[in-house]
Amino acid sequence: MVLEPSWSADRYGNKVPVWDRPIRRPYVGRLFMTASREEEKYRDAAVDVFTLLLPPSAVITHHDRLLCGGRRFEVLSVQPRRLLGRPHHLTVRLRAVEGWDTDGPS
């Protein structure tokens, strides 16, 4: 499930995402883990990087989040892949962080 935020302005006029009631879009895709590491600078946190393959018609940007299997992922990048000159699928890089809340400042 792709989650798209609404947008608001902070006190300086910058656009910031608002996650109270995101737009939800369900898609069928293939998700697999590509990397994992633990960070212990100021807190214990596991950071996993995943790749998601979606159909070329999927609407997703680097501002969105993804819910899958009870886990929340942040979208790092979206790249369309072409085959024989036509869009074949989207390759989406995702990050899952466990051990701290990703809604706050990072």
What total of structural domains would you count in the chain? 1
Identify whether 75 is part of a domain.
yes
Identify whether 40 is part of a domain.
yes
Identify whether 25 is part of a domain.
no
Whether 65 and 3 have beta carbons less than 8 Å apart is answered as yes
Q: What is the pLDDT of residue 40?
A: 58
Reply yes or no on whether the pLDDT at 102 is more than 60: no
- How far apart are alpha carbons 21 and 5 in whole angstroms? 7
Identify whether 8 is part of a domain.
no
Provide the domain limits for residue 83: 30-98
Identify whether 3 is part of a domain.
no
Identify whether 55 is part of a domain.
yes
Could you report the per-residue pLDDT of 35-89, keeping only the tens digit for each?
A: 887 765 666 677 889 999 999 999 999 999 999 988 899 999 999 999 998 899 9
pTM of the shown model: 0.79
Q: What is the pLDDT of residue 105?
A: 43
Identify whether 51 is part of a domain.
yes
